[in-house]
A and B are shown apart, each in its own frame.
Chain A
């Protein structure tokens, strides 16, 4: 039952990702759609937090190190109640707290500025250590991109994490997820700078590594459980994902790393996300008035 609930939230968040990127006219759909299941699994599966008190010292923290996928984070934050859903369509607009990449000072609930790739893991180490020093039970969830781990600072942090705080304050309150969608901006990761063997690399740095299907709520839940149960060291989860997951024409296509859909493309994408066939679409919209309103909203953008 839990998985069904999480899958429904993820589906709704995917729709919001498409919606906000279409309004923005720019942004990163591919990596947002690949990472959304992990974010939903964390935010709605286990995060101890209170959207009404974003500064609560003992809150669990999410650090989205691959900051370009922030539409996915905004979608889960709006769903959780950090801000009204209507604000999602201000993404990337002048004066909006929904900056193109996360801005901690602009939006309560964002834990750190990220987007300059390679920095979020170090930040997460510091947070995990600080929480341990303060004897807090809170956890830190850090999500890095696959292309991102080409950055040298990631490996400085990777080398440090299993040792930092030992023996009194080991960082077993830290779970790191690699969104392994196999594509970076310019092309397939294997063509630009192959990461393999990813699992072996992290293991040799002293990390327990779990390898899962990053779109399976069941596998995500079990991996997060296992990470939490692991004592003495932080855990790395290699989540195999599909870039652009849920939208056939975006899936596994480097073209959709960093361009936003046109309104017609967005409507087709939303139809696919909701699992409705083309012939059944008009009929479906008569029963789902929320989506019908969204389609009307997106069609209006065409005329702009």
Chain B
């Protein structure tokens, strides 16, 4: 499979699922060409609603549709849709409306548009809600399965998708399950837990670490909430060191979740790789290098963390 953005895989998956399930509807706030629901709107014009640049209303309308039995996908850039957090909190989460919240264009990887368009705090916000699972797929295959899972899941859910293309990382027979992670590579010295757009680079970093004698287990954590506690604790116990890698703030993201859980059930040194500042404009590759999300940056942080 060639590299593909998870937003693109999402748009394709929705087309297929929409043919099988008439309850599926999409809502957009003037970004359907970017969230990739435009093809769905073209194929099912009576089931796609563009609410204009009014994300709060879009989220509320989605909740109302869900309460009449529809399965609405409410889509925008992650920062814009999760930015309407209060409406998500009450109209979707507390109401327990079956809304699929889709945030695309996550992380500094969107590049040139700069910080105001980057979803860097969305996981932190959504994690605080007690009944909203968070899924961030790492490649096309996983995205298709995550979207299908979202349709089956009764209740609100948050899908976090990338603008940039993602290299395939999951094996062809992979099956997504909520609360289950995928170990992509075995290792004994350190556990690397990555999610979404950073998974491929983390695998690459592990190969480089191998060359200097550091054996790293690499885990793809698509299920950010709930975590795979069993796999995390098993791996942390085996390696004794955990590094998280995500294109999101280190505060409240995957790294925060991992550190909180390990702190409670199996205290283990944790290093969180993620953002600690606002993002900025630039070439996505240059930004990944600057923020230390490229293979060299990840490998360097791991090496230092292990005191090698």
Contact = CB atoms under 8 A, between A and B. Distances in A.
30 contacts: A57-B69, A104-B94, A104-B96, A105-B95, A105-B96, A111-B67, A112-B64, A112-B97, A113-B91, A113-B94, A113-B95, A119-B56, A119-B60, A119-B86, A122-B57, A122-B63, A123-B61, A123-B64, A124-B64, A125-B60, A126-B62, A126-B67, A128-B64, A130-B64, A130-B68, A130-B69, A133-B46, A152-B56, A156-B54, A160-B52
Contact of A122 (B47, B64, B96): B64
Contacts of B65: 126-127, 129-130, 133
B28 to A, nearest CB: 13
For the complex, would chain B's binding face be called helix, strand, loop or mixed by DSSP majority? helix
Interface in B53-102: 54, 56-70, 72, 86-87, 89-91, 94-97
Given A104-B95, A164-B49, A156 B56 contact: yes
Contacts of A226: none
B178 interface: no
Given A103-B94, A127-B64, A156-B51, 4 more contacts: A113-B91, A125-B60, A126-B64, A133-B70
A250 interface: no
A134 interface: yes
Given A130-B70, A134-B68, A160-B52, A125 B57 contact: yes
Contacts of A168: 46
Interface of B: 25, 46-47, 49, 51-52, 54, 56-70, 72, 86-87, 89-91, 94-97
A156 B86 CA distance: 15
A123 B67 contact: yes
A57 B67 CA distance: 10
Nearest to B97: A112
A14 B215 CA distance: 72
A125 to B, nearest CB: 5
A112 B69 contact: no
Contacts of A164: 49, 51, 61
A126 B46 contact: no
A127 B97 CA distance: 11
A116 B59 CA distance: 14
Contacts of A145: none
Contacts of B59: 122
A126 B52 contact: no
A159 interface: yes
Contact of B69 (A128, A134, A156): A134
Contact of B91 (A103, A122, A156): A122
A123 B91 contact: yes
